[in-house]
Amino acid sequence: MEIYDHPTFRMACRQFDLVADHLQIPESERDRLKFPKRSMTVALPIHCDNGSTKVFMGYRVQHHLTLGPTKGGLRYHPDVTLGEVAALAMWMSWKCALTGLPYGGAKGGIACDPTKMSRNELERLTRRYTQEMIPFIGPQVDVMAPDLGTNEQVMAWMMDTYSVHVGATVPSIVTGKPVGLGGSLGRREATGRGVGYLVNRASDSIGLDMSKATAVVQGFGNVGSIAALSLARYGVKVIAVSDVQGAIYNSGGLELWDLEKHVAKNKTVAGFSESEPLTNHQLLVLPCDILVPAALERQITEANAGKIQCRILAEAANGPTTPEADLILNQRPEIFVIPDVLCNAGGVIVSYFEWVQDLQSFFWGETEVVDKLFRILETAYTQVVSLSRKQKLPLRLAALSLGIKRVQEAKRIRGLFP
Ligand code: NAD
């Protein structure tokens, strides 16, 4: 499928092909499982603050609709392409199936740099994108959520634009909204909190004492910052973090609360006092117990996979490890990889809770949300680890096998129309 050609899409396809071989999925079923059901590309003209008009490209890919509506984030980043979005949509499908959510995967994005746009420009861009997507989305069709470069405010504008179009308030059109608009308690923290929970489970599995462990986190946005705080609550010392502008290190542990204040003021971790700067490349190969990539895809590659020095690789980002790097990591049994489709599933699980609450107009307390989140993660973790042990599979292959097999079975039972 040439329209999707992109290194990240090729990577997602290669992972799929490995699993399809492992599960012995017949050739006749492979393309149907692999390729997205629908994809949309839209041109988005907006008025800029300086009076000019600029056109941005927007995308949405819905991977499969076999198990329910599609679900997935919306990304604002200069490098967004249709192929990248298609890969992320595919991974969402396997993640939702692995955790037993009644969704197919989707992903969207706009090629833009939100850090260089005003709030008004971002609002106009978001509303125009939502307007263009209206024929293809809906609470029972496709539900968006925040991802890289988007946040609760972006979701609020989307919800408002859709609701104005329909003529009634429709909170269930997006998740990750502000709590005051029908968002769920615990959604903002869900992905990072889930990462903390799973690292704790992995530590149990390999006999690592969290209270004596160190962690390095790449990316200090929604997921990375909450993952760092969550690990700190388990007693872990976070010794280095980074963002797009730079990385910082303190062998004695970073003061995360002070760092949060520094980031709120300066919009970057760079320049934080009581830390020394280092490059993102150095950060990934620092000796530590827990390495958490929480930024972009394809960060652990064949160039650095042999050099990373951690005991747990917790993939908070989507697709941070390339298949070439996987081959190297598979030869390093001392590293326990929590694969992305499991590691960052907390976000979509609580998005699912938010959607359910919105549909029922009946809202839960945070304790209930967190309790239900951990139960689903526990079940998925146990299934992945036991399959991996039983069949001697790398954890990624085990996790993807569980997800892909469930989608395959659902497609088989429903049959092929006409
Ligand atoms: P975010 O925009 O809030 O934060 C991203 C962070 O990564 C920022 O600190 C940014 O500066 C940093 N970053 C960007 N490019 C970088 C680079 N080249 N090197 C180092 N740091 C860089 O986004 P987020 O919501 O935290 O998402 C992060 C990752 O987690 C993405 O892969 C996303 O798909 C994945 N994810 C997010 C959620 C969610 O609920 N938000 C759920 C599942 C997975």
pLDDT tens-place string over residues 69-112: 999 999 999 999 999 999 999 999 999 999 999 999 999 999 99
Output the CA 268–ligand 1 centroid distance in Å. 13
Helix axes 27-34, 7-23, angle to 10 degrees: 140
**Which DSSP string corresponds to 263-311?**
HHHHSSSTT-SS-EEE-HHHHHTSB-SEEEE-S-SS-B-TTTTTT-B-S
Alpha-carbon distance of 299 to 242, in angstroms, equals: 13
Average pLDDT over residues 173-179: 98
Per residue in 264-322, pLDDT tens?
A: 999 999 999 989 999 999 999 999 999 999 999 999 999 999 999 999 999 999 999 99
User: How high is the pLDDT of residue 274?
Assistant: 87
Query: Treating both helix axes as pointing N-terminal to C-terminal, what angle do 7-23 and 82-98 enclose, rounded to 10 degrees?
Result: 30
Give the pLDDT band (50/70/90) at residue 405.
very high
Q: Using a 6 Å cutoff on CB, does residue 293 contact ligand 1?
A: no
Rounded CA separation 418/415 (Å): 9
For residue 272, what are the contacts with CB-CB under 8 A and spacing of at least 6?
Answer: 248, 254, 258, 259, 262
Which residue lies with its CA nearest to atom 40 of ligand 1? 347
Is 152's C-beta closer than 6 angstroms to any atom of ligand 1?
A: no
For position 92, what pLDDT does the model report? 98
Both tokens of 172, joined, read 């269930």
Residue 202 confidence (pLDDT) = 98
Ligand 1 atom with least separation from CA of 318: 32
Q: What's the chain's average pLDDT?
A: 97
Q: What pLDDT was estimated at residue 114?
A: 97
Q: Is-contact 316 216, C-beta < 8 A?
A: no
397-411 average pLDDT score:
98
How confident is residue 1, by pLDDT bands cut at 50, 70 and 90? confident
**Could you give the 3-state DSSP secondary structure of residue 75?**
strand
Looking at the annotation, which residues are catalytic? 107
Q: Which of 84, 243, 249 to mutate to test the pocket of ligand 1 (most atoms within 8 A of CB)?
A: 243
The reported pTM is 0.97
**Region for 24 from its dihedrals, namely left if φ exceeds 0, alpha if ψ lies in -120 to 50, beta otherwise:** left
CA of 220 to the centre of ligand 1 (A): 7
